């Protein structure tokens, strides 16, 4: 398989969709944004209408200020007077194949009971609740219960370690953690409760730990622990929805940035939900018979936006799958599509690449004819994988939406609007930005580059789903997103527009890696490496990987007197898995005498990247700030001598 970045096929036109005139919609959004976003916001239920569409106090946007709204009400109560009430909200499938259907009404009841229980535990509007759960119904239930009472949820992906929990809980100042005794992953159990036990030794703000029974393994019960089922069973099944302000935080979601500390991305309700409701309508064009399978874990933004909030607002039926795509066999998604009649599959290039390796025979042995639309997200998709998805999974009759967006953008920003659009697809391109989203590709100086030229992707105008800020860190918010190109949002990705103005995303332009679609900061990884007692210095880069897109490569300098050995290699890898989590598994470790650095002490990560990918070092001088060509050449030779 070729490098994702160099193998673009711009010419292929595969399918044309019928639809209404998107041009008009986009023009209206551009010329009359207030009118346009007002119409979009009116698709939601508001307790009180807003005073203003947008209060833009650069770089802080308040969408629909003065408006009062509740996310849980828009996902649940709204459906109780319609035929959706008794429809499946979630069809949950455990790794062991067990299936549980939760109707909208049942979901409503469970959310209300937990909301009442949280209130009894003293949780009030604005309090933070950390949720560390596997993919079980209690995860969306917990989020919606927080939303109902105006508490701010902070979900931590259940693959993260104790240290990651400590950092995130302390930054958010959470009062409660909702977790489970354990979770299943590839037939093994992950001892979630003991990971939490380890973490709460260092999280002074935590008052209670609520435990859901999932694996029924024995767990240690300490003074702060309470069982989920004990607190909900006696509770009433109605809890009044809090009239949250449109810009009260709905949740914090931590994501990796370019410094050692993860960023707490904060989203509100009014703007965020408006963006989600409408983007989902345009891109997925939900209908009442859809069965939507978004394979993302709810611990990531895709799960927040397109497993929990957007589909529930639309009243669609969703698959909530607990386990891994290849467990017990590399056919699990196809099996689920056939078993539950999935109509829309929204997944990642990494999952598709791993299925593709096993050949066509496996998917061909399942009835996938219920599918009508396919989606991809999280990383660039190679054209050959795109074509496999189109031909083998979609049988040439399902459009593919390649959706670009980020934790920060809240919802989809670039993607074909199958609900309203009539265009040709190009494998590997996300096509165009959604109505109301004004993007541009610019150079170092912030000037627009011509079509065909690579540059930085920026967003020129505020949009409803944009983050409110970073939790407790307005300075970092301004610096990271709004100061690189003055007046615009800096997305951190390289991209270009082709001659037809189609957008092509070329990957991250900063010190962030995308490993199997998961976002990891190089500096965050480096600090995890140097927290190992044998390691003095670390430089992290990535290697192109046929399966994961990118794989982690570490250059490590050992402390004086420590010898490298395969044993140490394994020990260090284990240390990283324990410090960050299994998603940070390292592909290759090089022990070196010294790291390549500029005179001012900056690690030349781009040089290391070129070395591990066997690229020419020709043009990296422009990418390696502050370094001269002589320095780069010198360091290149020095490193190569040691490998
Ligand atoms: C980064 C954001 C979007 C939700 C899941 C990831 C990369 C995302 C695409 C795509 C190429 C993509 C970008 C972006 N990315 N979607 N369709 N094609 N790259 O959210 O963890 O915040 O990561 O994912 O590099 O900046 P995230």
Q: Is 493 in the pocket of ligand 1 (CB under 6 A)?
A: yes
Token pair of 578 as six digits: 């324990």
Distance 480 CA to ligand 1 centre (A): 17
The contacts of residue 407 (CB under 8 Å, 6+ apart) are: 253, 255, 265, 300, 301, 467, 519
Q: Residue 401 half-sphere exposure, CB side, CA atoms within 13 Å?
A: 32
Q: Determine whether the shortest distance from the Cβ of 148 to ligand 1 is under 6 A.
A: no
Whole-number Å distance, alpha carbon 370 to ligand 1 midpoint, is 27
What confidence score (pLDDT) does residue 387 get?
96
Tell me how far apart the alpha carbons of residues 438 and 433 are, in angstroms, rounded to a whole number: 7
pLDDT over 70 at 222, yes or no: yes
Pocket test for ligand 1, best of 263, 266, 505, 549 (most atoms within 8 A of CB): 505
Would you state the pLDDT for residue 628? 65
Tell how strand 317-321 and strand 88-93 pair up.
Answer: parallel
Res 624: pLDDT? 54
Nearby residues of 533 by Cβ (< 8 Å), 6 or more positions away: 559
Is any atom of ligand 1 closer than 6 Å to the C-beta of 404?
yes
Q: Kindly report the number of other CB atoms within 10 A of residue 282's CB atom.
A: 23
Average pLDDT for residues 185-213, to the nearest whole number?
A: 97
pLDDT interval class at 599 (50, 70, 90): confident
Select from 21, 632, 552, 624 the least CA-distant residue to 256: 552
Pocket of ligand 1 contains residue 465 by CB under 6 Å? no
Residue 241, pLDDT above cutoff 80:
yes
Model pTM score: 0.94
What average pLDDT does this structure show over 427-437?
96
Which superfamily is assigned to 511-641 in CATH? ANL, C-terminal domain (3.30.300.30)
pLDDT in the model for residue 118: 98
Q: Would you say residue 602 has pLDDT above 90?
A: no
Give the residue-averaged pLDDT of 463-475.
Answer: 98
pLDDT at residue 1, as a whole number:
29
pLDDT value at position 629? 67
* DSSP SS3 for 207: coil
**Any ligand 1 atom below 6 A from CB of 407:** yes
For the Cβ of 509 lying below 6 angstroms from any atom of ligand 1, the answer is no
Q: Are 334 and 368 in contact (CB under 8 A)?
A: yes
491 CA closest ligand 1 atom index: 26
Instruction: Say how many Å lie between the CA of residue 301 and the centre of ligand 1.
Output: 10
Determine the distance separating the centroid of ligand 1 and the alpha carbon of 461, expressed in angstroms. 19
Taking residues 63-71, what's their average pLDDT? 98
Place of tokens 């622990």: 225
Ligand 1 pocket: which of 514, 517, 542 to mutate (most atoms <8 Å of CB)?
514
Q: Which atom of ligand 1 is nearest to the CA of 296?
A: 5
Ligand 1 nearest atom to the CA of residue 512, by list position: 25
Q: Is the CB of 374 under 6 A from ligand 1?
A: no
88's tokens: 């499946």
387 and 402 Cβ atoms separated by less than 8 Å? no
Going from the Cα of 406 to the center of ligand 1, the distance in angstroms, rounded, reads: 5
CA-based radius of gyration for the chain: 24
Cβ of 455 less than 6 Å from ligand 1: no
Dist. CA 403–CA 470, nearest whole Å? 24
Q: How far is CA 478 from the centre of its chain?
A: 21
Residue bearing tokens 């239930």:
141
What average pLDDT score do residues 171-196 get?
Answer: 97
Q: What CA–CA distances, in Å, run from 241 to 89, 108, 228, 548?
A: 20, 12, 21, 42
CA distances from 78 to 70, 176, 447 (A): 11, 28, 46
Q: What percent of the chain has a predicted confidence (pLDDT) above 90? A: 85
Q: How far apart are CA 624 and CA 602, in angstroms?
A: 9
Residue 18 has what pLDDT?
40
Residue pair 94/322 in contact (Cβ under 8 Å)? The answer is yes
Per-residue model confidence (pLDDT) at position 448:
98
Domain ranges, ordered by start, for the chain:
511-641
Q: How confident is the model at residue 637 (pLDDT cuts 50, 70, 90)?
A: confident
């Amino acid at each position: 398989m070729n490098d994702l970045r160099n193998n673009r096929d711009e010419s292929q036109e595969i399918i044309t969709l019928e639809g209404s005139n998107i041009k008009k919609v986009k023009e209206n959004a551009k010329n009359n944004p207030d009118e346009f976003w007002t119409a979009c916001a009116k698709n939601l239920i508001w307790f009180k209408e807003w005073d203003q569409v947008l209060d833009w106090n650069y770089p802080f946007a308040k969408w629909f200020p003065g408006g009062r709204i509740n996310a849980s009400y828009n996902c649940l109560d709204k459906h109780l007077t319609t035929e959706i009430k008794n429809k499946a909200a979630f069809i949950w499938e455990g790794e062991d194949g067990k299936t549980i259907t939760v109707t909208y009404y049942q979901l409503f009841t469970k959310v209300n009971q937990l909301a009442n229980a949280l209130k009894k535990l003293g949780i009030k509007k604005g309090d933070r609740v950390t949720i560390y759960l596997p993919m079980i119904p209690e995860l969306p239930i917990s989020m919606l219960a927080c939303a109902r009472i105006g508490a701010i949820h902070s979900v931590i992906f259940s693959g993260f370690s104790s240290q990651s929990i400590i950092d995130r809980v302390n930054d958010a100042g959470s009062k409660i953690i909702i977790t489970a005794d354990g979770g299943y992953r590839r037939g093994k159990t992950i001892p979630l409760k003991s990971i939490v036990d380890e973490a709460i030794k260092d999280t002074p703000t935590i008052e209670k730990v609520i435990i859901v029974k999932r694996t029924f393994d024995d767990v240690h019960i300490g003074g702060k622990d309470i069982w989920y089922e004990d607190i909900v069973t006696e509770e009433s099944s109605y809890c009044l929805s809090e009239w949250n302000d449109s810009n009260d935080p709905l949740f914090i979601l931590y994501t990796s940035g370019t410094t050692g500390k993860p960023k707490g991305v904060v989203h509100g309700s009014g703007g965020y939900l408006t963006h989600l409701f409408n983007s989902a309508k345009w891109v997925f064009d939900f209908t009442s018979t859809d069965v939507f399978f978004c394979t993302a874990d709810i611990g990531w933004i895709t799960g927040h936006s397109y497993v929990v909030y957007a589909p529930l607002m639309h009243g669609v039926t969703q698959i909530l799958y607990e386990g891994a795509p290849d467990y017990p066999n590399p056919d699990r998604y196809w099996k689920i599509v056939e078993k539950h009649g999935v109509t829309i599959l929204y997944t990642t290039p990494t999952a598709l690449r791993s299925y593709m390796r096993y050949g066509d025979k496996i998917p061909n042995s399942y009835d996938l004819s219920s599918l009508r639309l396919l989606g991809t997200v999280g990383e660039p998709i190679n054209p050959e994988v795109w074509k496999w998805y189109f031909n083998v999974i979609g049988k040439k009759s399902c459009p593919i939406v390649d959706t670009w967006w980020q934790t920060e953008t809240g919802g989809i920003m670039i993607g074909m609007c199958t609900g309203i659009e009539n265009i040709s697809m190009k494998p590997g391109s996300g096509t165009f930005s959604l109505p109301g989203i004004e993007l541009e590709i610019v150079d170092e100086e912030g000037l627009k580059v011509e079509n065909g030229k690579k540059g930085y992707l920026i967003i020129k105008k505020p949009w409803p789903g944009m983050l409110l800020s970073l939790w407790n860190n307005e300075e970092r918010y301004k610096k990271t997103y709004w100061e690189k190109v003055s007046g615009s949002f800096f997305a951190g990705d390289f991209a270009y527009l082709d001659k037809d103005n189609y957008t092509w995303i070329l990957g991250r332009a900063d010190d962030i890696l995308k490993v199997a679609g998961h976002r990891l900061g190089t500096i965050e990884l480096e600090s995890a490496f140097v927290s190992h007692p044998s390691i003095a210095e670390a430089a992290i880069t990535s290697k192109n990987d046929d399966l994961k897109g990118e794989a982690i490569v570490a250059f490590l300098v050992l402390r004086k007197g420590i010898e490298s050995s395969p044993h140490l290699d394994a020990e260090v890898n284990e240390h990283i898995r324990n410090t960050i989590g299994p998603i940070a598994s390292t592909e290759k470790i090089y022990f070196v005498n010294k790291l390549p650095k500029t005179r001012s002490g900056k690690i030349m990560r781009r040089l290391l990247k070129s070395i591990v990918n066997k690229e020419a070092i020709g043009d990296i001088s422009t990418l390696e700030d502050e370094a001269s060509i002589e320095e780069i050449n010198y360091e290149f030779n020095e490193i190569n001598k040691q490998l």
